[in-house]
Amino acid sequence: MNSVLNRSTELIDLGLIDYQQAWDYQTTLFKKILSQKSENRSLPTDEQKLTDNYLIFCEHPHVYTLGQSGNEKNLVIPPEKLSSLGARFYHINRGGDITYHGPGQLVVYPVLDLENFFTDIHRYMRTLEEAVIQTLNHFQLTAGQMKGLTGVWLDGDTPAKARKICAMGVKTSRWVTMHGLALNVNTDLTYFNHIVPCGISDKAVTSMEKELHTKQDTKQVKEILRLNLTSLFNMKPII
């Protein structure tokens, strides 16, 4: 690990953006950090350059994505009918199974060099979850983790009532991260009917709008989540 840590993190808001475009953009930043780390290995410590960190916020048009460990059978609609839903489908290089992204869902992609923060993937995932939990608490929703499952849940300690409100899936290489989390704010939940979300067939999916019985201000949710993420990771935000 470098003796000098860079906790400065550029905050980027891409708005509503095509999934492939966002994936390509993440990949460019991800490779840039990896390239700098490779270069640093051949340099004396005092000549090494700091690696960058990015926190990307966005929403996507309707899309289903399947992680490396996922099962295509969890897409329960015939692929040829996706166009009738206005949706696309991608095999991607994160962990986890299938999930849905769409308008009204807040997506966050941290592209970080964890050597600037802490080198513990379990802690990384739990910290992402905690940022979402604190955000939901701000809006009077009691959320938490669920033993053995990733993401953020309501009534996670009561399996029969458990509802997933935030999905997570990440990729890491040499402590550099990409992909991230998807929080259902005003999401059209009917799109989840066409998949087995995250490969879990016996748990419901919910949104802030559904739980609070009114449409939410996505901009406000984004701001609270940003504050929680930067605080928990002890980031120095660059806007």
Residues classed as catalytic: 198
Over its C-alpha atoms, the chain yields an Rg (Å, rounded) of 18
Name the CA dihedral angle for 202, 194, 185, 122, rounded to a multiple of 10 degrees.
50
Cα 25 to Cα 198: distance, rounded to the nearest angstrom: 24
Phi, psi of 199 (to 5 degrees): 75, 10
Phi, psi of 110 (to 5 degrees): -80, 120
41: tokens are 């290995």
Count of alpha carbons within 13 Å of 36, Cβ hemisphere only? 18
Residue holding tokens 């270069």?
Answer: 39
Cα 189 to Cα 31: distance, rounded to the nearest angstrom: 34
Q: How far is CA 77 from the centre of its chain?
A: 24
Quick one: which of 163, 168, 220, 219 has its CA closest to 189?
A: 163
